[in-house]
Amino acid sequence: MRCPTCNQDDDRVIESRALEDGTAIRRRRECNACGRRFTTYERCEGEEVLRVVKKDGRIESFDRRKLVRGLLIACEKRPVPADAIEAAANRVHHHLMAAGEREVPSVRIGELAMDELHRLDQVAYVRYASVYREFKDLAELLGEMRRVLSPAPGSSPPRPPGSL
């Protein structure tokens, strides 16, 4: 693995661990040339290629990096660990592969990504939804925020901090 700082390929693995969903291994590495530490992720590449049907009808290969990039942008400056974002992308990809379809509408990928973000961080979810759903005005954005903030049916409303 090449070091992102000095581009040397002489490094050692400091720590390895499986992500919580078991679909990838996270490795902490240290470059023997410059001493920089960096993280890599290792996952099995399946032989089946997943294809994405875009809104305009174009078809392209599924690119997991695009999904991760979108999740990272939504989670920018939020307290969401990189491992959680990687695990969310893994769950979306696993769900798509398990469905058995080889061509998936981009809308489906976006919905799955929003489901994952909804569980991770409400602000990241609203950020992603505002771009993905192409809100036309603030009223649509506020409607989505109200939906996120409203308690689920059968649950009690959130209590203010410090209350019993």
At 88-147, the pLDDT tens digits run 999 999 899 888 888 999 999 999 999 999 999 989 988 888 887 777 778 877 887 888
| pLDDT for 151 | 64
Q: In this structure, which long-range contacts are made by residues 145-152, counting pairs with CB atoms below 8 Å and at least 24 apart in sequence?
A: 148/118, 148/122, 149/122
**What is the per-residue pLDDT for 99?**
82
pLDDT of amino acid 84: 92
pLDDT over threshold 90, residue 154: no
- Listed range (59-68, 74-83, 96-105) with the worst mean pLDDT: 96-105
pTM above 0.75, yes or no: no
The pLDDT of 28-33, averaged and rounded, is 94
In whole angstroms, what is the distance from residue 103 CA to residue 151 CA? 35
Q: What pLDDT score does 21 carry?
A: 66
Q: Would you list the domain boundaries of the chain?
A: 9-44, 46-145
Mean pLDDT throughout 15-34? 86
User: How high does pLDDT run on average in the chain?
Assistant: 84
Dig out the tokens for 14 from the structure: 């400091």
* Range list of H helices, the chain: 64-74, 82-98, 106-120, 122-132, 138-149
- pLDDT greater than 70 at residue 47: no
How many C-beta atoms surround the C-beta of residue 45 within 10 A? 7
Tokens of 50: 């997943």
For 143-152, what is the mean pLDDT? 75
Confidence of residue 80 (pLDDT cuts 50, 70, 90): very high
**Tokens 């998936």 belong to which residue?**
104
Does residue 164 carry a pLDDT above 90? no
